[in-house]
Structure 1
Amino acid sequence: MLSIDKRKEELEKKRAKLAELRRAREERKAALQDAVHRDSGAGHIRDRRDIDELVASLVGDKPSSPTPSLSASRSTATPSPGPVSQPAAAPDKTHVEEAPAETAAPAEVEEKYVPSLGVSDFLIIDVAPKEVVKYNKEIQTMEIMTDTEDLDRNWGEQATGTPEVADGDDGKDETGSVDSELNVPPVELSDTERKSILTSDRFRDFFDHSSKLMERALNDSYDFMTDYTIGDTQTADLGAGTDVKTVCTFFDDRLVRNRCVTDMDWSPKYPELLLASYNKNVMAVNEPDGLVLVWNTHLRERPEFVFHSQSDVTAAQFSEFHPNLIIGGTYSGQVVLWDTRAKSLPVLKTPLSAAGHTHPVHAMTMVGTQNAHNLVTASSDGLVCAWQLDMLAQPQETLDLIHPSHPKTDEVAVTTFGFPANETTTFWVGTEEGNVYQANRYERAGTKAGINPNDTYKGHYGMITGLDFHPLHGPVDFSDLYLTSSVDWTVKLWRVKSLTKAATAPQTIAPLYSFEHAIDYVYDARWSPLHPALFGSVDGMGTLDLYNLNTDVEVPIVTLPVTNGKALNKLKWDREGQKIASGSSDGHVYIHDLGEIAQPHNEEWSQLQRTIAELESADNPSSYH
């Protein structure tokens, strides 16, 4: 009950408060209305006074001084003989007589005047300013001058003392006479000025770049004089593509004189680029010891890029996943990295320390994928290192190859090595003694990392100069086949033993076949990346031999004497398998187009299977099993 009474008491107080608020609002409203009425009355009086003053000004009789009351203004006004009629003055007198009752009101109203406020809507219109267009002669006659034109104009002004005449001036001065100094001959440069221009880096870069573009265009083999109306007469030469043709020969006497080609590689991105590495020139002590030249098949007379090294470059290749990078292995054991976007010196190189190679690096390859890859290098002391290209301060991993059960020495003098297709951990190395060994980068299947001492691929009687695995392409996998070349004048074909069949005792594995056509050292042998049964080899007599196992295993199908008695050191197929490059001991690089020889048929893979099966059979007298 107490709560209900308390609630009622609160409601009554609120009702009383609301009533007071309503009463105050009504009082304010009434006061505002009274003020508005007083204001309207005062405004009426002021309007009458303004009308009287306006009439007096029109008739020409103005009051001498402002009067505070309406009656005073009427009494001091003097009528003029203007065209004002008498009836118009009568109402004024009537108002004058009534005015004394209102004389005191205007002053009080003006002091208590309350303005009347209201709300007004404004319309805002945004109009852009009018654009002012001015005509200028340069709008139609403006020209863009190059740096050369500016330089010529400045020289002309200095020689004649007269500024050049702009377009549209017609060569006339203020008097209208034609300038006779307009056709002034160019100023001849002095020897000092000419030498400073020709030796500047900017001029040399421009000249080198522009001359390369011109040479590429001029070396284009396209016959723009071909007459397409007589095409029927050229059908007789369709079979000419079956012969091997020499595409071009690369040689620069100034750069590679007395140097030997040590390695070659085609660019993975630009099929026209080929790099070649060279050793030192013993006749020129001031030249860099090692060179890597990047040749372009569209630029025949000089290399596209020139890279230097402080030591002989023994191995070089393009980076498989970075086409701008070139990797080189040197005789001092350093691994260097060049960039085609930089100058001729290496951008990165390994330190000369015991952490890496201290003997010549004779073999290198890139293994892995785009996202995870390593550079694997091997030196002649049996040390194998894996590197990251962006961190050459120290190798990611090292592996020292030793043969503890070897009858003479446990050292493995590596001359070359190779990884099968899609393999990153198991590889095969060729040695100076002529044997091939299988090695593991890591422990796998119960075997330790390093040389597998139980499997020895023995067949050569001299140092192995080259080792190449069959590329993985086509419907049949032949990636377990590999070729080796040696100074014993032979090329041998091998089949890799299955890694799942680990030998518990030492065993010797013989080659499938031996190719003994050469009459000198065989320096390299490579499989074709396109034809499954085709491979090539080069020897010390300067001869290029091409073998097709599906055609004949005893003699090559093509024997091409490339040089005149100079040894061919290296062999490299291009990525498409149509061209083959060979490097000689006198610094020349030869490019040959194989034509239809390099094109395989659909049955080549099945036929090669039968050929390999025949070589493996015990009845084959040429088999080494």
Structure 2
Amino acid sequence: MKDAGTDTSLDMVVTEVFEIAPKSTTISYNKEVQTSEDWASGTNTKSASGIEDYDEFDYSVNMAQRKQLEDKIRTELEELYKKENEEVLKNNRTLSNDEPGLNANGTPDVSRPTILSDKEASQISARQDFENFWSQSWKVINRAAEEDTNYNILRNYAESQNSDAQQQSRNSLTEITHLYSKDSVGRAVTYIDWSPKFPELIAAAYTEKSSDPHATKGLIQIFNLHAPNQPEYTLTAQSDILVVKFSPFDSNLIFGAAYNGQVLAWDLRSKGSRPLLSSQLSGKAHTHPVYSLEIIGTQNAYTLITASTDGTVCTWTPDMLAKPQEKITLQTNSSSLRNDEAAPTSLAIPTRDQAQFLIGTEEGAIYQCYRFGQAGSRPGIDHRKSYRGHTGPVTSVDLHPSSGPVDFGNYLLSSGNDWSIKIWLVSLISSHGSNLSSTASSAPANRGEIIRPILDIKRDDVVYDISWNPNHPSIFAAVDGTGHVEVWNLLTDTEVPVVRAKPSNIEKNIVGSNYLKRPLNRVSWEKTSEARRLAVGGLNGSITILELDTTLIGSSPKPEHWAQLKRLFEQLES
């Protein structure tokens, strides 16, 4: 306790807790400051507070005027919409309370929709005509929803540093579109075929999807160029499809060959995706993968020819695939002690004499074969000659289409795993034994004669597929293991392609499709009179449609092109 007389005064201490900043000066910008003399000279005027003064245009006033204008437009639109609604309600007919769905005068009111019950909706949706209508309507809607593909919105400008030659190639070969779907992701393209009747339809065959064991193994998708992301038809099988072909005589029929040796047929008019006809898995037909299928004949009588790596070639009637009409075993004279069976990997049939054909084999040789016996010999390989030049399996063979004033039908194009493209002059012998070749150098060879190519083109990687252009005599296309597509013009150069390009990775946004550097293994020209477009596909499951520039291929080949190519071939033969 302090005494009463003690001084009790207190000392007051003031402590600064926080400091309130002075109100900042509003900064406004003068849109003319960039051209002012002070700014150009590197100096600017400051206010007394030390803050630059650009005060001539206040954006707060501008934003207020903009808001007033927006409110005015919104009010006018609401009044207009309200007025239109009142007119519609005034003009509409009123419904009778006693008879719902009818007007006051008793006539049906078509302006009001009829609401179906769940049972009625189920009954209608189960009808076949409704399902067909919905399927066709959805395809039409999907085509109409596609945007213009002339501009690539996924273009990567960081990849624009190309050489002049690469830039010229891209200009000469234009990408039209990409064909893919969610079902083709994770699969490899095994074959491509254009419809001979509808130029916008393309059929593609695929391998199984290894990442999904529950997915269908065999898959065929028929795309429409006007709706590239949604196939028109999807066909399935129990094994990988290696070949798919449109029937040239019936646009509704699709034929295919499978890895398990089956030959299959689908009808686009039938319901479901399963094949309508299929061959049996037995020793009477193929027992190994079927890599080649050709359709020959006429509208009233046509035949399927298939070649398998089991060393056999079979002939089939298209409406009866239970067993082949004929089965030919291909045996070679590679050993003096025994006959070895050839393993065909590719097949080519001349258009002028379909009783004979050529096969490329796993051993690298190309053989000429006959469907029927010749001079007492059995059907099969002609042992008098063989075409040898490839040191690895032959991946593709293609005879010249020869649709012009000069017949080049005896010139064969081939590709192989030995990184090469070769051109051969083959000796086509008619059923009467007469030589159909145009030069003396292609006369019937002696027994066991080995024939070499007239042109050998070395490449930088494996060439998986080649194809003559059906319109221009000197142009062909090839695809290789680096993912490039090449277009060759023999009249321009026999050593360097006129175009070499790599399709863009448009499918990179699809989940599970990281295959930018995967090879291309299929190429196919369109079946039209111009034949300027070609389709290429590879291990990424995507098909790219490309178009050649008119400066490369022209509207149609001229007569002098055929004469020039004839002189070139004669020089190569000599």
CA distance in 2, matches of 1:188, 1:340: 33
CA distance in 2, matches of 1:457, 1:489: 17
Q: 2:103 aligns with which of 137, 154, 167?
A: 167
Residues 27-66 of structure 1 correspond to what in structure 2 (within 5 A)?
Answer: none
In the alignment, what sits opposite 1:606? 563
In the alignment, what sits opposite 2:493? 552
CA distance in 2, matches of 1:241, 1:559: 8
Q: Shift of the alpha carbon at 1:250?
A: 0.5
**Contact 1:331–1:360 (CA<8 Å) still a contact in 2?**
yes
**Contact 2:402–2:473 (CA<8 Å) still a contact in 1?**
no
In the alignment, what sits opposite 1:334? 262
Q: Shift of the alpha carbon at 1:537?
A: 0.1
In the alignment, what sits opposite 1:262? 190
SS at match of 1:376: strand
CA distance in 2, matches of 1:391, 1:188: 47
Aligned residue pairs total 431
**Contact 2:385–2:446 (CA<8 Å) still a contact in 1?**
no
**Contact 1:421–1:472 (CA<8 Å) still a contact in 2?**
no
Residue type of the alignment partner of 1:439: C
CA distance in 1, matches of 2:395, 2:243: 13
In the alignment, what sits opposite 2:35? none
**Contact 2:423–2:454 (CA<8 Å) still a contact in 1?**
yes
SS at match of 2:332: coil
Q: Deviations 1:329-368 (Å, cap 9, x if unpaired)? A: 0111111100111131111111122211111111010112
CA distance in 2, matches of 1:371, 1:552: 43
Q: 1:349 aligns with which of 278, 284, 305?
A: 278
Residues 300-311 of structure 1 correspond to what in structure 2 (within 5 A)?
Answer: 300-311=228-239
Residues 171-320 of structure 1 correspond to what in structure 2 (within 5 A)?
Answer: 205-219=132-146, 243-253=172-182, 255-320=183-248
Q: Is residue 529 of structure 2 the alignment partner of residue 572 of structure 1? A: no
Residue type of the alignment partner of 1:505: R
SS at match of 2:534: strand
CA distance in 2, matches of 1:566, 1:342: 36
Change (3 A) 1:395 1:161: farther
Change (3 A) 1:289 1:167: same
**Contact 1:241–1:595 (CA<8 Å) still a contact in 2?**
no
Q: Deviations 1:303-323 (Å, cap 9, x if unpaired)? A: 011101011111110112111
**Contact 1:421–1:469 (CA<8 Å) still a contact in 2?**
no
Q: Deviations 1:457-479 (Å, cap 9, x if unpaired)? A: 00011111100000021100000
Q: Shift of the alpha carbon at 1:438?
A: 0.7
Q: Shift of the alpha carbon at 1:215?
A: 2.8
In the alignment, what sits opposite 2:541? 587
Residue type of the alignment partner of 1:386: T
CA distance in 1, matches of 2:177, 2:401: 26
Q: Shift of the alpha carbon at 1:556?
A: 0.1
SS at match of 1:462: coil
Q: Shift of the alpha carbon at 1:372?
A: 2.6
CA distance in 2, matches of 1:165, 1:410: 82
- Please give the TM-score of this superposition, normalised by the length of structure 2: 0.70
CA distance in 2, matches of 1:410, 1:352: 24
Q: Which is further off, 439-448 or 307-316?
A: 439-448
SS at match of 2:140: helix
SS at match of 1:525: strand
Residue type of the alignment partner of 1:456: S
Q: Shift of the alpha carbon at 1:397?
A: 1.0
Change (3 A) 1:334 1:241: closer
**Contact 2:172–2:499 (CA<8 Å) still a contact in 1?**
no
Residue segments in structure 1 that go unaligned for 5+ positions in a row = 1-156, 172-182, 224-238, 618-625
Identity %: 37
Q: Deviations 1:232-266 (Å, cap 9, x if unpaired)? A: xxxxxxx999721111100102x112111111111
Change (3 A) 1:165 1:194: closer
Change (3 A) 1:264 1:166: same
In the alignment, what sits opposite 2:447? 505
Residue segments in structure 2 that go unaligned for 5+ positions in a row = 1-94, 151-167, 430-434, 436-442, 505-515
Alignment RMSD? 3.0
Q: Shift of the alpha carbon at 1:376?
A: 0.5
Instruction: Tell which has more relative contact order, 1 or 2 (C-alpha 8 A, sep 6+).
Output: 2
Residue type of the alignment partner of 1:557: V
Change (3 A) 1:291 1:187: same
CA distance in 2, matches of 1:540, 1:364: 24
**Contact 2:169–2:499 (CA<8 Å) still a contact in 1?**
no
**Contact 2:169–2:498 (CA<8 Å) still a contact in 1?**
no
Q: Report the structure, 1 or 2, having the larger helix content.
A: 1
SS at match of 1:303: coil
Residue type of the alignment partner of 2:298: T
Larger Rg: 1
Q: 1:561 aligns with which of 502, 505, 508?
A: 502
In the alignment, what sits opposite 1:474? 404
CA distance in 2, matches of 1:206, 1:372: 34
SS at match of 1:453: coil
Q: Shift of the alpha carbon at 1:562?
A: 1.7
- Please give the TM-score of this superposition, normalised by the length of structure 1: 0.64
Q: Deviations 1:534-553 (Å, cap 9, x if unpaired)? A: 00000011100010000000
Change (3 A) 1:379 1:161: farther
CA distance in 2, matches of 1:185, 1:256: 41
